[in-house]
A = this chain, B = another copy of it.
């Protein structure tokens, strides 16, 4: 077998125990916030029929899909996001009580060009309310975003940009852009957070928009105001404690299916760009052949958020999962080691028994050190004889010999 292919696929990553501790902590915090706001979890399969996936996201997206025939010859694909699977779920479960407030935390796959912050398998944390036109539903999604960014992730500098498709369309009307050109104009002005006005003008030119029209577009956007619905959303959100909302009339969001409120959260320092996007999509469920229900929701891109948390070193004190290493002296005494390990495990102290008793204590200590295990428990012949255990704290250097029956209490004092 060729050695060069014994590796992860390009654009894909393994997660080490250390990385998983951070990811699990993040998922736990996000989950707690979703449930605080009354959302419940569902999961859907990784694979969907191609009929479910195609025609929902636009052509560019479809190029990035993992589409193939399964061993039975059916055209299938890996899910591209969690929104279309939600729509399919609703279509299939029409007795679901409405409004349906669901969250979903699962990976999605896109064969995108791998680069910093962009992976081919990444975890989306979606939260959506289906079946309500109320601006309270939009506001709650904003409250969740704010709570996650502010309290779960502790990002110091961020903005939640909001706009709505009706506001955007009204700008297009005011600028007298012919309706068939709206999609390409909207796509260009959506880039105003990354590109200069000049660059966007250039792009609009190449897309066949003339100079007058371009001037009109910028003028309409500069004068745009939130409509009644959007004002209501903002007021409700503020009542839920949301700050950092910024009305951004050029914000468009790429995906075709949004119909109302749209929002995007950006980390402003360091300038990482969009980490959370979402909005209202009142037509998608009907389009999919399901019931004609409104919906609003957001997607938290966990991988990019983890990058920010790591880059800013925001979380310093994730506790280790394993608190102790129980050493083994020889085969006979390994039963005593097992006994000590049992006592600690029953007492809630997660620990490893070093299984290879032929290795000397120095090697066993080195192992604990490499794994960042704070406590080592030693059972040599003397300890065994006197029903004792020696506790060595690798962080403080403190060492003490204690009775086995006091072991859990004594060990806890070191934690």
Contact = CB atoms under 8 A, between A and B. Distances in A.
A236 B338 contact: yes
A288 interface: yes
B45 A9 contact: yes
Interface stretch (A99-107, A212-220, A255-263): A99-107
A89 B9 contact: no
Contacts of A182: none
B76 A9 contact: yes
A49 interface: yes
Contacts of A42: 14-17, 20
Contact of A35 (B6, B8, B49, B322): B322
A328 B24 CA distance: 36
B6 A92 contact: yes
Interface stretch (A62-70, A273-281, A380-388, A389-397): A62-70
A2 to B, nearest CB: 7
B371 A1 contact: no
Q: Which 5 A-B pairs have the closest CB atoms?
A: A38-B352, A68-B68, A17-B40, A134-B355, A12-B45
Interface string A335-354: 10011011001000011110
A46 B46 contact: yes
Interface in A119-149: 121, 129, 132-134, 136-137, 140
20 contacts: A6-B88, A8-B44, A8-B45, A8-B48, A8-B88, A9-B76, A13-B45, A14-B42, A17-B41, A20-B42, A35-B350, A38-B352, A45-B121, A47-B109, A133-B356, A136-B353, A136-B357, A140-B355, A239-B338, A241-B342
B17 A97 contact: no
A223 interface: no
Given A9-B48, A239-B342, 17 more contacts: A6-B92, A6-B288, A12-B45, A14-B43, A15-B42, A15-B43, A15-B44, A38-B322, A45-B121, A46-B107, A46-B121, A66-B71, A99-B355, A99-B356, A136-B328, A136-B353, A140-B355
A101 B352 contact: yes
A286 to B, nearest CB: 12
A156 interface: no
Contacts of A194: none
A303 to B, nearest CB: 12
A338 B240 contact: yes
A92 B137 CA distance: 46
Interface in A211-257: 236, 239-241
Most buried by B among A66, A92, A140, A370: A66
Q: Give the interface residue-count category, chain A.
A: 35 or more
Contacts of A36: 345, 350
A66 B45 CA distance: 14
Interface in A72-109: 72, 74, 76, 78, 88-89, 91-93, 97, 99, 101-102, 107, 109
A13 B367 CA distance: 43
A328 B135 CA distance: 13
A55 interface: yes
Contact of A71 (B24, B37, B111, B353): B111
A192 interface: no
B38 A370 contact: no
Given A92-B7, A240-B342, A69 B71 contact: no
